[in-house]
Amino acid sequence: MDFMIGETSFCLCAAAGWLDIAMVLVLCALLMAGYPVAFSLGGTALLFVVIGLTFGVFDLSYVKPFPQRIYGASVNTTLIAVPMFILMGVILEKSRIAEELLDEMAKLFGSLRGGLGISVTIVGALLAASTGIVGATVVTMGLLSLPTMLRRGYDPSFAAGSIAAAGTLGQIIPPSIVLILLGDVISNAYQKAQLEQGVFAPETVSVGDLFAGALFPGLMLVGLYLLYQILVAITQPSKAPAIPAQEMGTRKQVWIAALKVLPPPLLLIVAVLGSILAGVATPTEAASVGAVGALLIAGARMAPKGSFLAGRPAVYTSALSILGLILLTSFLDLRLGRESIPLVETAGIALAFLLFALTPWGIVASLFQLRREKTLAPILDQTARVTTMVFTILIGAALFSLVFRGLGGDDTVRAALEATPGGMIGAVVTVMLVMFILGFFLDFIEITLVVVPLVAPPLLAMGLDPIWLGVMMAINLQTSFLTPPFGFALFYLRGVAPPEVSTGMIYRGAIPFIFIQLLALALLAMFPQIATWLPGVLYN
């Protein structure tokens, strides 16, 4: 009898040692079954808390920090940038600014072979740098560009692949939602890795560092896309024919129209990214500027010409006031309460008060125009939905990671990476491969909030550069958006594609761009300076 009890206890202990792995498998099964991500994370965690307590291998002290995790997420100044950037992207989408960009860029390049594909990639990059939302970009370009490209004789696979790939640029070109989330996770993982190594004054990594690190890799990816499209247009002209020049209007008319549409989004990109990279504003402050800037652009586009109080003069006044405030803070010290303030800075403070007082005029006028056009409610509704989804997943992932750690998951992951053949290089390749495969089934938010906190600390403890690792992960997650059969960008495009474009055509069109992204990943692995040079120059 004692032997049987001992054997049973041994079996229970052996089974308990696999609970962390079983936890991950159960989560994957629930997600594959179609259950909501946030509730799958939280439900799996609670289930394994009960199982762990039953086997006597889980300590409730591991979940006691959960309320603090929720409070920390709600007051995290870095994560406040997420709803602001979401709002900025939704405003640009709903106010049809993206539609105008596509139309004018198509006229600008359409007379060249492959010109429509080139215009789609350039507009995708511009939208990525001003919205950071993949789904909205793919759907917008799929609705507007795909029918035009098909009507002009483009190969359906080539057209669909170009649109899907251009839409995913929002993953890597800052400001990107995934870069904000990755920046927060990588920063915590980097500090944890240093503390475990006995460094009690750890260095930090900010979202601004990751934005700077991702800029050149993102532009490199755009260049590779354009190079591929140009090669297809040269070698297989039937896949990407040119539009007859007489249908595009005169070059002068095309350039005048383009110069009317391009400056506002470009100024918005410069204001947001420029302020972050120059160190003038944090990503959260820049996100607020971006949301207000997008609101003013939409208000100027919709405002009637004859109105003064609620028209374009109000919008232009606010835009110039914001620009003036940015310039003043860049060149003058505007702090109050100092013992002595020079005369020039006193005048600057007075001017700053005046500009600040003028800023709300155009904002209120823009809100009035959006409400008049019946777009304000959809903008707020979609922003609230996406923001709620992100933060609900964040809460579920926090509970999942606490329980996984309590079941010994950290030790399992660390032991698995240390046992990987090839040392540090083998561990990186393994993690990238696992993330690539998970991208077939999971969204980037789940991978960022669940997988990255588990694998990043052991990798960073091996001496990897945190900025390089974050950018590598971002490009890897971007690749997962295009990978059949579950690439989310392909699903978005399938939902708006005409019936004559089959799912197989969309998959075939995406495959070359997947190889291009893998090539970009390989180049970044061989030349880390592509990601690390700019942050080093700007912040060191």
Does some domain include residue 481? yes
Residues 356 and 414 in one domain: no
Tell me how far apart the alpha carbons of residues 525 and 531 are, in angstroms, rounded to a whole number.
10
Does some domain include residue 312? yes
Domain end, chosen from 352, 373, 394, is at 373
Which positions ≥6 away from 169 have C-beta within 8 Å?
124, 125, 127, 128, 137, 218, 221, 222, 478
**Dihedral (C-alpha) 342, 346, 349, 350: value to the nearest 10 degrees?**
-170
Tell me how far apart the alpha carbons of residues 210 and 42 are, in angstroms, rounded to a whole number.
29
Does some domain include residue 292? no
Residues 48 and 8 in one domain: yes
Instruction: State mean pLDDT over 411-433.
Output: 80
What DSSP letter does each residue of 418-453 carry, written as one string? HTSTTHHHHHHHHHHHHHHHHTTTS-HHHIIIIIHH
Q: What is the band of 4 on the pLDDT scale with cuts at 50, 70, 90?
A: very low
Tell me how far apart the alpha carbons of residues 268 and 290 are, in angstroms, rounded to a whole number.
6
What are the tokens at 485? Answer: 């059969």
pLDDT number for residue 247 = 62
Angle at 430 between CA 533 and CA 454, to 5 degrees: 80
- What domain range includes position 359? 303-373
Does some domain include residue 216? no
pLDDT number for residue 448 = 82
Local structure of residue 60 (DSSP, 8 states): G
Backbone phi, then psi, for 279, in 5-degree steps? 80, 10
Residues 360 and 426 in one domain: no
Tell me how far apart the alpha carbons of residues 362 and 476 are, in angstroms, rounded to a whole number.
41
Does some domain include residue 50? yes
pTM to 2 decimals? 0.80
Angle at 229 between CA 231 and CA 99, to 5 degrees: 160
Residues 413 and 475 in one domain: yes
Residues 361 and 432 in one domain: no
Residues 192 and 61 in one domain: yes
What DSSP letter does each residue of 165-184 carry, written as one string? HHHGGGGTSSS-HHHHHHHH
Tell me how far apart the alpha carbons of residues 150 and 155 are, in angstroms, rounded to a whole number.
7
Q: What is the band of 307 on the pLDDT scale with cuts at 50, 70, 90?
A: low
Q: How many helices (H) and strands (E) does the chain have?
A: 26, 0
Cβ atoms of residues 298 and 363 within 8 Å:
no
pLDDT number for residue 301 = 79
For residue 358, the number of C-alpha atoms closer than 13 Å in the C-beta half-sphere is 19
Which positions ≥6 away from 121 have C-beta within 8 Å?
162, 165, 166, 222, 225, 226, 229
Residues 192 and 318 in one domain: no
Local structure of residue 454 (DSSP, 8 states): H
Q: What is the band of 253 on the pLDDT scale with cuts at 50, 70, 90?
A: confident
Instruction: State mean pLDDT over 438-460.
Output: 79
Angle at 482 between CA 480 and CA 486, to 5 degrees: 75
pLDDT number for residue 1 = 44
Does some domain include residue 523? no
Number of domains comprising the chain: 2
Domain end, chosen from 330, 353, 373, is at 373
Residues 482 and 404 in one domain: yes
What are the tokens at 326? Answer: 């940015």
Tell me how far apart the alpha carbons of residues 335 and 179 are, in angstroms, rounded to a whole number.
32
Which positions ≥6 away from 138 have C-beta within 8 Å?
163, 164, 167, 168, 489, 492, 493
Tell me how far apart the alpha carbons of residues 235 and 212 are, in angstroms, rounded to a whole number.
36
Tell me how far apart the alpha carbons of residues 303 and 309 are, in angstroms, rounded to a whole number.
10
Integer angstrom CA distances of residue 510 from 99, 135, 160, 293, 516:
23, 16, 7, 34, 10
Residues 337 and 192 in one domain: no
Which positions ≥6 away from 244 have C-beta within 8 Å?
111
pLDDT number for residue 513 = 92
Tell me how far apart the alpha carbons of residues 197 and 484 are, in angstroms, rounded to a whole number.
40
Does some domain include residue 281? no
pLDDT number for residue 368 = 86
Chain-wide mean pLDDT for the chain?
Answer: 81
Local structure of residue 369 (DSSP, 8 states): H
Cβ atoms of residues 456 and 469 within 8 Å:
yes
Residues 355 and 393 in one domain: no
What are the tokens at 174? Answer: 């800052």
For residue 491, the number of C-alpha atoms closer than 13 Å in the C-beta half-sphere is 12
Does some domain include residue 476? yes
Tell me how far apart the alpha carbons of residues 522 and 114 are, in angstroms, rounded to a whole number.
27
pLDDT above 50 (res 2): no
Local structure of residue 241 (DSSP, 8 states): P
Q: What is the band of 7 on the pLDDT scale with cuts at 50, 70, 90?
A: very low
Long-range contacts, 496-503 (Cβ 8 Å, 24+): 496/139, 496/142, 496/143, 496/146, 497/142, 497/146, 497/160, 498/146, 498/147, 498/150, 500/150, 500/156, 501/146, 501/150, 501/156, 501/160, 502/156
Residues 352 and 421 in one domain: no
Instruction: State mean pLDDT over 182-193.
Output: 84
Name the least confident of 2-6, 256-260, 352-356, 534-538.
2-6
Instruction: State mean pLDDT over 509-528.
Output: 92
Domain end, chosen from 323, 353, 373, is at 373
Residues 59 and 202 in one domain: yes
